[in-house]
Every structure is written in structure tokens, then in C-alpha cells.
Copies of this chain bind each other. A is one copy, B any other.
Amino acid sequence: MSDDAKINRRKFIVDGSAAVVGAAAAGAAASSEARRQASRKTARAEGFTSPSGCVIPYSRDELLRAERSRTFTGRQLGEIAFPLGGIGTGTVSLGGRGDFRDWEIFNRPNKGHSLPFTFVALWARRANDTPLVRVVEAPLQPPFRGAQGYPREGAQGLPRFRGAAFRGAYPFAEIAFEDETLPVAVALEAFNPMIPLEVDDSSLPVAILRYRVSNRSKAPIDVALAFSILNAVGYDGHTALGGNRHAGFGQNITRLRRDGPIVGLELTSQKYEVDDVRVGSMALVTTHPDVSARPAWEEGAWWDSFQKWFDEYAAGGGFHDGDSAGPSEDGVSQYATLAPRLALPAGETKTIDFLLAWHFPVRENYWNREPEVRGRKLRNDYGTRFENAWDVARRVASDLDRLERGTRAFRQALEQGTLPAAVLDAVSSQMSIIRTNTCMLLEGKRFFAFEGTNDEGGCCPMNCTHVWNYEQALAHLYPSLERSMRRTDFVDNLRPDGSMAFRTLVPTGRALWKFKPAADGQMGCVLKLYREWQMSGDEAFLRELWPQAKRALEYAWVQWDADRDGVMEGEQHNTYDIEFYGPNTMMGTLYLGALAAGERMARAAGDEASAAGYRRVFDSGRQRLDAELWRDGYYMQRVPDPAGVKVQQVEQKEAWYAAAVDRGAIKYQYGEGCLSDQLLGQWLATVVNIGHVLPAEHVRETLRSIYTHNFRHDFFDHPNTQRLYALNDEKGLVLCSWPRGRRPALPFVYSDEVWTGIEYQVAAHLIYEGLALEGLAITKAVRDRYDGERRNPWNEVECGSHYARALASWSLLTALSGYSYSAPERRLSFSPRLTPEAFSAFFTTGQGWGTFSQTTQPTAATARVEMLWGALELKAFGFEPGSAPAGGRLWAGVNGAAVVAHADEAGMVVFDEIVRLKVGDRLEVKLTRGSM
């Protein structure tokens, strides 16, 4: 409701003063200084004090370096599992060593398990030399545990490359396999198509694996690449397989098929009916025409099967077998091998593409106890689009060029921006969550999601409103799916009294989850509805959901803010799985944000009376929260006397439920603590362009306090009886601290923990508020903890793997670029928080995506929008040219042709006619000094 953003913009353009306040400007200076230093010496881990007076435990170079992706080697390969798969398809992960692990294509998580004898092995023979066989993987790393020796079921006993260097630039992974003793080099690039806005193109059940083989000798070499795989159709998707026996196997058939440009193995089973949860198929194909294959390895006692496979391959680099195997006996399946081969002249490099496709169309609800939904079958959207895995492989192969171009355009647009390394890494690595088993895409493009995944099952079903409050990536990359979540929130989960079931039972429409409503989740949903409307400009969508959203918002007056003073005092269940009592700004800012969003939506819906009412409550709440809770640099919680507290009893207790009043004290509050989430609603209001809901100067000082008190430079002396996400010499932001003492005996149950989603939320907020260096420090701390050796860089963990809250990292991008978009108003603007003199970043809208860049010279400032996908209509455009000259001339043009525009009083560039940009179009706006 505040007009801060506009005021700031006007000020910048009119005054021509520094566009970026405080530390962001310092960051720019630091950046060039750091680059100078970097040329003199390699990076040292040294701290410094930021312009805002905060201690930054990194060097400026470490914070600001422009590395586009990290390279992992040696021990850092151990934890890497890079997920390959689309939205709602499940994934198989590429391990850091080049192995395939965590086969999560069977509609559930499956951490730590692999399909036995599923691996790729190179065969190479230089004229007159003995042929060599090398598994295309890096060496195994200690420890070498196992009561029967180190596991052998992944061909661990075969020779392999001496090392590997892994680079992951999601959705692309690259591995360079290293072995100087060999005459051939191998590199792998792996990806799954991902094109923002294009749901179908981004929801393909396939892994694309491109092996590049180079002959670095001076003689021709014959080469083969044998991809072996277990026909796993019938697997339950979570038990550990020790071989090709499993109760679900049987009637498995593996066939070698040629089909136009593809050839490969079709892996099926006749055991299951069409609606069975195990029904499905797999396909392993290549576009390389010359292959040999073995639809089934020979059988035998002991290790005969693998030994014979090895001997046959080692001898000739190929296989001699029939074209089909099976159907297998019950309980048994086949291992099969597809082995493309080629001749490699001296010094040449050739490429072999594999497509690994799968098709397991049926899920069932294994995660709920409620009888209305337990065991119900659910159909994956992709299952309605493809007949089987072969169909997937065939169609993806024929469309591969287009899919790959779009995916590369996206990644390149992300990379070409001026994002610091840790931000690019945080933004792009965590997008992957959308495409893991945390999420599902059911028929009709309905998007559902757990909070995260346990090792063998989803964790905390489904569409949890308060966890998904933090998420921003889906909203900006696939806004249609985000709108599907809002429909679920408001159409399916709203009860007659206006309270919202904050988890969803799927299939929907059968029952609602029985638990008290979550204050944070419910208010957040109102804010998020506003965001979806702004992103899409879909007025029909707004009209459809606004009546329910109004009820959801006004339920606050029933449950939480009975006196309608704009401050929640009632029992506020929230994302910490406990209840807060009394005024606090975590709920309070979400409530204020919802009121502000509600005002705007009510007005758009023509309901001026409600709009005015929300405004009155907002104004009251804003004043009262600030007056009552602001103390010494941050906002505290005012915990009421336990006698006056009313605890809602719940019909259905969860394992984690604990009544808040115990032995005369209210447990699980934070009181005078400095809570990292205390400005959660302010952050969300800023992300959705509502502006300040609390006084700007207090917001900024509070963020500085959060950084100062809660960002720990190590955890050696941090006693934590709760869960552990940061240890030893790691850095991280704790959820709460008590700098003034008076820590409650039993504060809220996650208070000493470190959650990446909250770290990103706070980091982005710091950046939004001009404390960019502090935000970068927190971001780097997160990503340093996920270094491949300690944890998997593509799996940030909280209450489960691939935890949705980490999708808050997208707001680092919107914060750094000061991105603001309103489809209804056809307005787009940027306000870079770092290096405004030369800034560039990726952006999306509901209809298209591209890059924004701005440069500033002494006499001119230029902004440029290049559309790389979709379309964009603009009436107004804004940017903040930093030190660009003021009072100069304005020129605007599309693809070089001028368009008529003027600057309005708020500093926005307003076009006389709507500018309609399509793919490839370039909008430019130049400000020059008057004399030019």
C-alpha cells in the first residue's frame, strides 16, 4: 500500500542521484575493486565490514565473482545427484561420478538406491592393441563399507576413468571424464528439456545423455559405448534391489526396435493391467545408427552372467544376440545392453546421444491415512500425453532440436546476466525442485506438491500453504501451474467458515484435511493470488477466485484479529508446526500484505467498500504493529498471559501436534527473540510489488539486525537440540536468536535450526532493501554447505529433500534486478541492486521471457529488453540508470525503430501506443544529456 517504489523511482530519475542505496552501491564499487585485486592474487577467505557496518565473512571477490557454475572433483563428486526429469515425471539422477542413481521415475522418491548393473562402459581398440573396457565413471570414493565387500552390483569392479570434473548448470550437467592413460577421452552432457512457460515441453519423462568421445591418439580407434540397464518395469520404486529379482518383476520383455531415426531397447512387462500402479514401460534408445545389443544378459550361477557379459564385450566391443528377450519368469527381469559403435579417426571427436525414457502413468495415494483418499489412483498428466515410453523416446527424438534450443536459450539467458555466482547457483539449482518427486502434475495439468521428500516417500502432503508461501520459482517460470495451486487453495480447500485446509487431500473433492487453519498460509494465499493475477493479467481467473479469497481474508476477523485492529492476537498456527499467540510481525506482515492485496483485488472486482475496509484495518495494523513491537532494532513478539489464551483443540492430531500451554507457560514462542522470519510478509509484499507494509527505515534496520544476530560464521559453539542443517565450520542463518537474553525455556521448536528457504527469503529481502552484500553472504553460505562433499548441490534439505521452501531462491533474482511486472497494467520495470552501471538479468512474465540489461555511461544510460520466448505487451517501462544523467532526452525504440514515449511523473517511460514485443524483438530506451 505504500508508494515507496514509485517515490524511489521518481527520485532516482529526476535527481540523477545514485540509483542504488547503501551497500548496493558499495557492492558495485567493491566489485571493480575485487576484480582488480583478483588479478593480483588468488581469492583468500577474508572478511570485511560492509558499508552498513555488518561483518561479512568472505572476501569481496568471493561474493562477487562471476563464475557461471561450480566445478566439482574428487570427494565433491560423492554426494552429487543431479536430477534428470520433467515436471511431474519423476527423475533419475546423474551421480557426480557419472553413475545413475536415485531412480525416482516410479512415482516416488528413492534416495540412495540404484538399478543394478545399469551403467555405461566404453570399449576402445586401437589397431593392434588389446581392447580396453572402461566404465564411464570416476573412481569410487571411500569409505568402502560392506559386510560382503564393497557393493559390486553397479559394476564397481570394472576398470573406470581415473577422475572426473562435474559441472552442473541446471538443467544441464556436464562431466569430463579424465584418464591420461587412455587414448580416448569421454565427456557427457545430460539434460531434460526445460522451457519457462512451456509446461508440456518441460514435463517430458526422459533423460537425454550425450556422450562425446574423442580420439586423442594418432591412430584410428574403434569405439563402442555399451549402455546396460535393468528392465525395471514392475519395481515398487523404493526397496533396495540386489539384482534382477523382485516380487514385482515377471513377464518382463525387452526388445531391440528400430523406428525411423531411433534404435534401441524397449523394456516392458505384460504383468500389469492398465490401471495398475506398477504398469509402465521404459525405453533406452539412440539416434546413432550402428548398434549391437543384448536384450538379455546370459543367465547363470554365481557371477556367471556379468562375467560372460564382460568377456563378450571386452573381446569384440559388441554383442551377438537375438532381438527380443522374455517374457521372464515371475519375480525375475532382464539386464539388457545397447551398444552403439563407431570408428574414430585420429584426433576426431564424435557424439552418441542416448534417450532414456519412461512411462509410469499411474500413482496411488500412499501418503495419507484418510480413507477417502488413501490408495486412490491418480493419473500423471504425462501419461495422458504419451502411449508408452517408446512413444516418449520417439517423439522427443524427433523434436529434440527444438526442445534443446529452447532449453539452451533459457540457460544462456540466465547465465549471461550479471548475477554473482552464488545467486545464479541458488536460483538455477533450486528450480530443479519443481521437477522432482516433491511435485506432481496430474491429468488436467493440476499441480500438487509435498513439502519435500523423505528417502522413500513424499513428506508432508500436499500443497502446504505456509511452506509454499516462500516459493517464487514456479510462480515466475510456470505461472499457469501456480494458478492451479491457487484454484486448489480457494476452490477445493476453503471451508464454509472461511478457514482453509492448509494441506490438500488428493484426489480433491472427497474430503478436506482436518486441522486448524494456518494463519501464515491462509494470508499468504491471498498475497499469492494477487501475484498470479499480476503475472498473468487473467481477469477471469481473478473474478473466479476473488469471492473465496475475500472469505479467506476475512476469516482473520473470526479467528485471529477478532477486534479488527489489523493485528493478529489469536492462536496462529504457522509454518513452525506450532502456534504463536499474541502480536508478532511474522503473521502481522502477512496479514497486512493480504489486506493490501485484498484492497487492490477488491477494487479490481469493483468492491470499493471492501477495499476501503481493508485499507482501514491495514492502516491500523501497520501503525499498531510498529508501535507495539518495534524495540532496539527489530520487532519482537508480545506473548500474552497464558491464562487468557484459547487453544483450539483439533479433531485429528498429527504426530507433531503439541498443545501450546503446558505447566502454566506457553511453550514454543519467541518473545523478545530476533526472528529471521519476522518480516516474512514484508518480503512477500515486496516480491509481489505491494511495497512497504511497515515503515521502510524500520524494515531496513530490522534486516540488518537479523543479519547481525542470526547469521553465524560457524557452528562450533551453537548448542542445538533440534534438527541439524549446519555444522562445524559452516555458516548459516539461524531461525532465531535472543540478543537481549530472555530466551524462553522452550522456544519454538525450530528456533536453533537453519533453513535454506528462510535464508533465501532474508537474503533476497536484504538485497531488495539495499543490503546486497549481506544478502550475498547468506546466499553463498547456503551454497557452500551444498558443496558436493557435504551435501548434494541439487537437493537442499529441510523437512525432506528437494524442499519447496528453497524455491524462495528465485526472489534473489527479482530482488537483484528490482523486477516489477503488472500484466493488467502492461507495466514492467527494473531497479538493479548491484552494478547498475552494467547490469543484466533474466526475467519472465506470464506471456514471455527474455533478458533485461542496462548500461550507464557519463553521458547516456541505456536499457534493453530482449524477448527470447513468447510475447510481451507494454504500456509503461521503467529502469533505474544509476549514475546516468538527469534531465536529459528520452529515446525509445523497438528493433531500432523509434516508438513515441514520454516520462511520467513517477519516472516511468510511458508509450503512446501499446508496444507489442515478440520473440527476437528488442526494446531499447536511452536517456542522454540535454546537450546531445
Task: Please give the residue numbers on chain A whose beta carbons come within 8 Å of chain B beta carbons, in ascending order.
Answer: 78-79, 111, 133, 139-140, 142-152, 156-159, 162, 300-304, 306-308, 310-311, 314, 452-455, 459, 656, 658, 662, 667-668, 716-725, 727-728, 745-746, 749, 752-753, 789-791, 797-801
Q: Please, how many angstroms separate the alpha-carbon atoms of A856 and B597 in the complex?
A: 97
Pick the contact of A719 from B78, B301, B310, B455 — CB < 8 Å? B310
Chain B residue numbers with a CB within 8 Å of A78 are 143
Chain B residue numbers with a CB within 8 Å of A162 are 716
Known: A152-B722, A307-B721. A143 touches B455 (CB 8 A): no
Q: Is the pair A745, B454 in contact by a Cβ cutoff of 8 Å?
A: no
Q: Is the pair A721, B149 in contact by a Cβ cutoff of 8 Å?
A: no
Chain B residue numbers with a CB within 8 Å of A459 are 147
Chain B residue numbers with a CB within 8 Å of A157 are 719-724, 752
Chain B residue numbers with a CB within 8 Å of A801 are 147
4 more A-B residue pairs beyond the given contacts A149-B725, A150-B724, A301-B662, with a C-beta to C-beta distance below 8 A: A147-B455, A149-B724, A302-B668, A306-B721
Would you list 25 pairs from A and B whose C-beta atoms are within 8 A, ordered by A residue? A111-B147, A140-B727, A142-B791, A144-B790, A146-B797, A147-B454, A147-B459, A148-B797, A149-B753, A157-B720, A157-B723, A157-B724, A159-B717, A159-B718, A159-B719, A162-B716, A301-B658, A302-B656, A302-B658, A302-B749, A303-B749, A306-B721, A307-B746, A308-B745, A311-B745
Known: A140-B728, A150-B725. A716 touches B791 (CB 8 A): no
Q: Is the pair A797, B143 in contact by a Cβ cutoff of 8 Å?
A: no
Q: Is the pair B145, A79 in contact by a Cβ cutoff of 8 Å?
A: yes
Q: Please, how many angstroms separate the alpha-carbon atoms of A146 and B302 in the complex?
A: 34
Q: Is the pair A143, B301 in contact by a Cβ cutoff of 8 Å?
A: no
**Which residue in chain B gives the minimum CB-CB distance to A656?**
B302
Known: A149-B725, A150-B725. A143 touches B719 (CB 8 A): no
**Which residue in chain B gives the minimum CB-CB distance to A306?**
B721
| Smallest beta-carbon distance A726→chain B, Å | 9
| Smallest beta-carbon distance A161→chain B, Å | 10
Q: Is the pair A145, B791 in contact by a Cβ cutoff of 8 Å?
A: yes
| Smallest beta-carbon distance A184→chain B, Å | 15
Q: Is the pair A143, B790 in contact by a Cβ cutoff of 8 Å?
A: yes
Pick the contact of A303 from B139, B143, B722, B798 — CB < 8 Å? B722
Q: Is the pair A724, B790 in contact by a Cβ cutoff of 8 Å?
A: no
**Which residue in chain B gives the minimum CB-CB distance to A133?**
B719
| Smallest beta-carbon distance A446→chain B, Å | 26
Chain B residue numbers with a CB within 8 Å of A301 are 658, 662, 667
Q: Is the pair A159, B789 in contact by a Cβ cutoff of 8 Å?
A: no
Chain B residue numbers with a CB within 8 Å of A308 are 745-746
Q: Is the pair A727, B303 in contact by a Cβ cutoff of 8 Å?
A: no
Q: Please, how many angstroms separate the alpha-carbon atoms of A749 and B307 in the complex?
A: 10
Chain B residue numbers with a CB within 8 Å of A143 are 78-79, 789-791
Known: A303-B722, A716-B162. A799 touches B148 (CB 8 A): yes
| Smallest beta-carbon distance A116→chain B, Å | 13
Q: Is the pair B152, A721 in contact by a Cβ cutoff of 8 Å?
A: yes
Q: Please, how many angstroms separate the alpha-carbon atoms of A722 and B153 in the complex?
A: 9
Chain B residue numbers with a CB within 8 Å of A306 are 721
Q: Is the pair B716, A159 in contact by a Cβ cutoff of 8 Å?
A: yes
**Which residue in chain B gives the minimum CB-CB distance to A301?**
B658
Chain B residue numbers with a CB within 8 Å of A752 are 157
Chain B residue numbers with a CB within 8 Å of A302 are 656, 658, 668, 749
Q: Is the pair B797, A147 in contact by a Cβ cutoff of 8 Å?
A: yes
**Which residue in chain B gives the minimum CB-CB distance to A459?**
B147
Known: A147-B455, A152-B722, A452-B147. A746 touches B159 (CB 8 A): no
Ranked nearest first, the 3 interchain pairs of A and B with the lowest CB-CB distance are A301-B658, A157-B720, A149-B723
Chain B residue numbers with a CB within 8 Å of A717 are 159
Pick the contact of A139 from B158, B452, B723, B727 — CB < 8 Å? B727
Q: Is the pair B453, A152 in contact by a Cβ cutoff of 8 Å?
A: no
Q: Is the pair A728, B133 in contact by a Cβ cutoff of 8 Å?
A: no
Chain B residue numbers with a CB within 8 Å of A159 are 716-719
Known: A157-B724, A716-B162, A728-B140. A800 touches B148 (CB 8 A): yes
Chain B residue numbers with a CB within 8 Å of A745 are 307-308, 311
Most chain B CB inside 10 Å of its own CB: which residue of A79, A148, A455, A797: A148
Q: Is the pair A144, B722 in contact by a Cβ cutoff of 8 Å?
A: no
**Which residue in chain B gives the minimum CB-CB distance to A749?**
B302
| Smallest beta-carbon distance A297→chain B, Å | 11
Q: Please, how many angstroms separate the alpha-carbon atoms of A310 and B720 in the complex?
A: 9
Known: A302-B656, A303-B721. A790 touches B111 (CB 8 A): no
Chain B residue numbers with a CB within 8 Å of A314 are 719
Q: Please, how many angstroms separate the alpha-carbon atoms of A797 and B143 in the complex?
A: 13
Chain B residue numbers with a CB within 8 Å of A749 are 302-303
Chain B residue numbers with a CB within 8 Å of A149 are 723-725, 753, 797-798
| Smallest beta-carbon distance A375→chain B, Å | 24
Most chain B CB inside 10 Å of its own CB: which residue of A455, A722, A727: A727
Q: Is the pair A139, B719 in contact by a Cβ cutoff of 8 Å?
A: no
Q: Please, how many angstroms separate the alpha-carbon atoms of A688 and B619 in the complex?
A: 96
Q: Please, how many angstroms separate the alpha-carbon atoms of A645 and B314 in the complex?
A: 31
**Which residue in chain B gives the minimum CB-CB distance to A139?**
B728
Chain B residue numbers with a CB within 8 Å of A791 are 142-145
Chain B residue numbers with a CB within 8 Å of A453 are 147
Chain B residue numbers with a CB within 8 Å of A304 are 667, 746
Chain B residue numbers with a CB within 8 Å of A721 are 152, 157-158, 303, 306-307, 310
Known: A157-B719, A158-B720. A147 touches B725 (CB 8 A): no
| Smallest beta-carbon distance A573→chain B, Å | 15
**Which residue in chain B gives the minimum CB-CB distance to A456?**
B147
Chain B residue numbers with a CB within 8 Å of A156 are 724, 727
| Smallest beta-carbon distance A724→chain B, Å | 4
Q: Please, how many angstroms separate the alpha-carbon atoms of A800 and B147 in the complex?
A: 4
Most chain B CB inside 10 Å of its own CB: which residue of A143, A145, A147, A158: A147
Q: Is the pair B303, A142 in contact by a Cβ cutoff of 8 Å?
A: no
Q: Please, how many angstroms separate the alpha-carbon atoms of A146 and B79 in the complex?
A: 12
Most chain B CB inside 10 Å of its own CB: which residue of A158, A302, A746, A797: A302
Chain B residue numbers with a CB within 8 Å of A151 are 724
Most chain B CB inside 10 Å of its own CB: which residue of A142, A455, A746: A142
Q: Please, how many angstroms separate the alpha-carbon atoms of A146 and B452 in the complex?
A: 12
Chain B residue numbers with a CB within 8 Å of A656 are 302
| Smallest beta-carbon distance A503→chain B, Å | 18
Q: Please, how many angstroms separate the alpha-carbon atoms of A162 and B715 in the complex?
A: 11
Q: Is the pair A152, B723 in contact by a Cβ cutoff of 8 Å?
A: yes
Q: Is the pair B720, A790 in contact by a Cβ cutoff of 8 Å?
A: no
Q: Please, how many angstroms separate the alpha-carbon atoms of A158 and B668 in the complex?
A: 20
Q: Please, how many angstroms separate the alpha-carbon atoms of A311 and B719 in the complex?
A: 10
Q: Please, how many angstroms separate the alpha-carbon atoms of A300 and B659 in the complex?
A: 11
Q: Please, how many angstroms separate the alpha-carbon atoms of A159 and B149 in the complex?
A: 35
**Which residue in chain B gives the minimum CB-CB distance to A660?**
B301
| Smallest beta-carbon distance A413→chain B, Å | 33
| Smallest beta-carbon distance A119→chain B, Å | 13
| Smallest beta-carbon distance A174→chain B, Å | 22
**Which residue in chain B gives the minimum CB-CB distance to A453?**
B147
**Which residue in chain B gives the minimum CB-CB distance to A716?**
B159
Chain B residue numbers with a CB within 8 Å of A310 are 719, 721
Pick the contact of A142 from B152, B753, B789 — CB < 8 Å? B789
Chain B residue numbers with a CB within 8 Å of A307 are 721, 745-746
Q: Please, how many angstroms separate the alpha-carbon atoms of A789 and B75 in the complex?
A: 13
Chain B residue numbers with a CB within 8 Å of A311 are 745
| Smallest beta-carbon distance A125→chain B, Å | 15
Q: Is the pair B158, A719 in contact by a Cβ cutoff of 8 Å?
A: yes
Q: Please, how many angstroms separate the alpha-carbon atoms of A656 and B146 in the complex?
A: 19
Chain B residue numbers with a CB within 8 Å of A147 are 111, 452-455, 459, 797, 800-801
Q: Is the pair A790, B142 in contact by a Cβ cutoff of 8 Å?
A: yes
Q: Is the pair B144, A727 in contact by a Cβ cutoff of 8 Å?
A: yes
**Which residue in chain B gives the minimum CB-CB distance to A800?**
B147
Q: Please, how many angstroms separate the alpha-carbon atoms of A753 and B310 in the complex?
A: 16
